[in-house]
Chains A and B, each alone.
Chain A
Amino acid sequence: QKEVEQDPGPLSVPEGAIVSLNCTYSNSAFQYFMWYRQYSRKGPELLMYTYSSGNKEDGRFTAQVDKSSKYISLFIRDSQPSDSATYLCAMSGTTGRRALTFGSGTRLQVQP
């Protein structure tokens, strides 16, 4: 089983749609959960960060973590063409391996 699994997409939605992106993971030591956005030929850019379980909202973005199910989600409301990018989930722990472990990324295309 891969440590972090993410549906690669591509995911194509019309402008204004609600987008749901998800990752599952197997390592119960992960405590920090992040979502990065990556535009073509650019480095990942941090969008959202959550510690342990719960929800976090920032503008049109909501991150959810369910540690009991080892499942994290990113919701994008009122999606815009500028949201078109690859979205990467990333996780890290507080003991042992503390470096970020990334998912493979989901490519999102928001059609105008």
Chain B
Amino acid sequence: EPEVTQTPSHQVTQMGQEVILRCVPISNHLYFYWYRQILGQKVEFLVSFYNNEISEKSEIFDDQFSVERPDGSNFTLKIRSTKLEDSAMYFCASSASSPGQGRPKLFFGSGTQLSVL
């Protein structure tokens, strides 16, 4: 079965450093997402991306965050200057259709655990 692949599985960084989290969505999917889950808390939406632009973002996704699809297969999340509170599990997801239309089946990757020290 096709799957969403995320690398690295763990990332440790110093506060103030830039990090890039990488994802390879399922190949025929058109919608891409980043969610995060702080330990013990709920899964939170960060951003959705379609047709090479952000289609929706949450209040968490401020100017420190950016997303990019640099080629036909990768989807990245960049945090420019990490803060302690950015420590979380970051999940990439992809879907063939938007959650607001048709069958909103999102496939999630296994996540990148980001630890900011």
Residue pair B110, A32 in contact (C-beta under 8 Å): no
B60-117 contacts to A (CB < 8 Å): 91, 93, 98-101, 103-111
Which of A53-61, A66-74, A94-102 forms contacts with chain B?
A94-102
Given the known inter-chain contacts A32-B99, A88-B43, please indicate yes or no for A100 contacting B106, CB distance below 8 A.
yes
Q: How far is the CB of B70 from chain A (nearest CB, A)?
A: 22
Contacts of A92 in B (CB 8 A): 99-100, 104
In the bound complex, CA of A33 to CA of B91 (Å): 20
B21-71 contacts to A (CB < 8 Å): 33, 35, 41-45, 48, 56, 58
Q: Tally chain A residues at the interface, Cβ within 8 Å.
A: 24
Given the known inter-chain contacts A43-B91, A43-B108, A43-B110, please indicate yes or no for A95 contacting B100, CB distance below 8 A.
yes
Contacts of B20 in A (CB 8 A): none
What residues make up the interface of A, taking CB atoms closer than 8 Å to B?
A: 32, 34, 41-46, 49, 88, 90, 92-95, 97-105
